[in-house]
Amino acid sequence: MGYSDTDAYNAILKITDSYWMKMTPSASDKNQLTVHEENKINGSCVGLSFNMTIDGDHVDLSLPNISTVFQVLPGCDGCVVFRANSTARDLSKLFHMMNINIDITDEELTTHAIYLMARETSVKDSDLEQFKQQASCLGFTGEPNFSYDPKHDFCAEGEGTHLSL
């Protein structure tokens, strides 16, 4: 589940059917996380692998043309809430690699977002309300731009296209 404040990211959230991620500590650097995620976008699976760096109370993601700072906010049991601030340049190249047909005209795009991720496919109503309250405190209103629909299945690890960034 998630909110974003830009049309480009909201367009991605709108065509996202499902998403999962696995984070593992790096064997060589205690401040590094290795992340693998699988996205089902418009019915097609796209996997991404990348590294993130733990820096105090936040996690930094630095990819070609994209930098994001994540903060973990209080969440429910079995859930994690991420606040994300991202700056991206030339997103059209990444979208092309992921077979996403969204027209991006901005050379540089700054996005603020908040995401609720859970181990299960549903969360309690009280946890959902807490997340919406957190989103409201950050300036987001209305219904989330993405909410998982259980009629969509998840991609298996390695299914579909894979990008190592």
Q: What pLDDT sits at residue 64?
A: 81
Residue 9 confidence class, pLDDT cut points 50, 70, 90:
confident
Whether the pLDDT of residue 112 is over 90: the answer is yes
Nearest C-alpha neighbor of 92 from the set 106, 81, 73, 80: 106
Higher per-residue confidence, 43 vs 100: 43
Residue that has been written with the tokens 């300036």 in this structure: 139
Stated pTM of the model: 0.84
Percent of the chain with pLDDT over 90: 62
Please indicate whether residue 126 or residue 103 has the higher confidence score (pLDDT).
126
pLDDT tens digits for 88-109? 887 777 676 666 777 666 678 8
Does the pLDDT value for residue 152 go beyond 70? yes
Q: Is the pLDDT of residue 54 over 90?
A: yes
Residue 161 has pLDDT above 90, yes or no: no
* 3-state SS record for the chain: CEEECCHHHHHHHHHEEEEEEEEEECCCCCCEEEEEEEEEECCEEEEEEEEEEEECCEEEEEECCEEEEEEEECCCCCEEEEEEEEEEECHHHHHHHCCCCCCCCCCEEEEEEEEEEECCCCCCHHHHHHHHHHHHHCCCCCCCCECCCCCCCCCCCCCCEEEEC
What's the rounded mean pLDDT across residues 27-42?
A: 92
pLDDT-derived band of residue 63, with 50, 70 and 90 as boundaries? confident
Sign of CA dihedral 72, 38, 48, 9: negative
How is the chain split into domains, by residue range?
2-16+59-148
Residue 160 has pLDDT above 90, yes or no: no
